[in-house]
Amino acid sequence: MATALKRVEDLVEAGGTHLVATVNPEFVMRARSDREFARVLESADLCLPDGSGVVWAARRQGCAMPGPVTGVDLIPPLAALCATRGWRVFLLGAAPGVAAELASRLAAEHPGLSVAHHAGSAEPSADEETMALVAARRPHVLLVAFGAPKQELWIDRARARLRVPVAIGVGGAFDYLTGRVPRAPEWMRRAGMEWAFRLVRQPWRAGRMAVLPAYAYRVIRGQ
Ligand code: UDP
């Protein structure tokens, strides 16, 4: 986490526009068949391991990876960093009211933190309005919660126009941080069993999670 925060800090300081992706096994499997998503992920300036499945695969391939850095775990220390550095934050996405609630919480926790929000939509027809709202606030860090791959494709579309130093796709992080969706207990996360908790609490995810056995098979086979 400390390394990830330092990398994000360096990217903000560098200016320009950077994409940060929080990659999980569903991303990896989708990118195998979705060329556009694969292109956008390859263009990311930083890919964080969103969960133990990616850490496991990386280690099997000889990459020393100390542990996962999920979007939901990154946001609180990142908000603290932004407060310290005087950097503006923008929360985009999730259901109406969710980003607004998280923005109020973060502002209450970090007096002086500039944090804007907009639920918006990942539909290209909403781009004009959303990009104008974001551009008006000139955030240093933009957190986009449209779910993958929509959020990464949205950041890719917006990149040239917005000039936001760091845009991060954070999936369902706003829902977790506002308590709308429960997180697996710490011991389950450490044991790499968060997927089982999610399957029980959010059974509609079963379709998306069906790729996990194929992912594990390919990791073991080194494919
Ligand atoms: N979401 C959204 N617009 C969409 C689809 C999803 O704002 O068109 C939001 C949804 O409300 C949720 C977040 O995207 O807050 C991510 O959902 P998902 O379950 O895909 O994320 P994960 O839990 O896999 O990170």
Q: How far is the CA of 57 from the centre of ligand 1 (A)?
A: 25
pLDDT at residue 218 above 90? yes
Strand partners, 18: 166
* DSSP conformation letters of 159-191: HHHH--SEEEE-TTHHHHHTTSSPPPPHHHHHT
Single-letter amino acid, residue 208? R
pLDDT score of 176: 96
Single-letter amino acid, residue 74? L
Six-digit token string for 111: 């007096």
pLDDT score of 134: 97
Q: How far is the CA of 56 from the centre of ligand 1 (A)?
A: 25
CA distance 69 to 102: 20
pLDDT at residue 194 above 90? no
* pLDDT tens digits for range 111-136: 999 999 999 999 999 999 999 999 99
Q: How far is the CA of 95 from the centre of ligand 1 (A)?
A: 8
CA distance 181 to 195: 14
pLDDT at residue 195 above 90? no
Orientation of helix 52-60 relative to helix 212-221, angle to 10°? 20
What average pLDDT does the segment 6-27 reach?
Answer: 97
Q: What is the dihedral of CA 198, 20, 131, 9, to 10 degrees?
A: 120
Q: Which residues contact 34 (CB under 8 A, 6 or more apart)?
A: 149
pLDDT at residue 8 above 90? yes
> With a 6 A CB cut-off, is 146 part of the ligand 1 pocket?
yes
pLDDT at residue 50 above 90? yes
Q: How far is the CA of 149 from the centre of ligand 1 (A)?
A: 10
Q: How far is the CA of 120 from the centre of ligand 1 (A)?
A: 12
Contact 23, 42 (CB under 8 A): no
* pLDDT tens digits for range 144-182: 999 999 999 999 999 988 989 999 999 999 999 999 999
> With a 6 A CB cut-off, is 174 part of the ligand 1 pocket?
yes
Q: What is the DSSP code (8-state) at residue 141?
A: E
pLDDT at residue 191 above 90? no
pLDDT score of 113: 97
Q: How far is the CA of 145 from the centre of ligand 1 (A)?
A: 6
Give the global pTM. Answer: 0.96
- What is residue 70's three-state secondary structure? coil
Q: Which helix (H) or strand (E) holds 9?
A: helix 2-14
Classify the C-alpha dihedral 82-163-68-24 as positive or negative: positive
> With a 6 A CB cut-off, is 150 part of the ligand 1 pocket?
yes
Six-digit token string for 91: 């929360």
pLDDT score of 96: 98
- Closest Cα to atom 3, ligand 1: which residue? 146
Q: Which of 24, 152, 175, 181 to mutate to test the pocket of ligand 1 (most atoms within 8 A of CB)?
A: 175
Six-digit token string for 172: 């369902």
Mean pLDDT of the chain: 95
pLDDT score of 104: 98
How far is C-alpha 208 from the geometric centre of its chain's CA atoms?
17
Contact 125, 155 (CB under 8 A): no
pLDDT score of 160: 85
Higher pLDDT, 222 or 107: 107
What average pLDDT does the segment 183-187 reach?
Answer: 91
> With a 6 A CB cut-off, is 126 part of the ligand 1 pocket?
no
pLDDT score of 139: 98
Which atom of ligand 1 lies at the shortest distance from residue 171's CA?
A: 25
pLDDT score of 193: 87
Most confident of 80-84, 160-164, 182-186: 80-84
Q: How far is the CA of 166 from the centre of ligand 1 (A)?
A: 20
Instruction: Classify burial at 150, counting beta carbons within 10 Å of its beta carbon; exposed 0-12, middle 13-18, buried 19 or more.
Output: middle
pLDDT at residue 91 above 90? yes
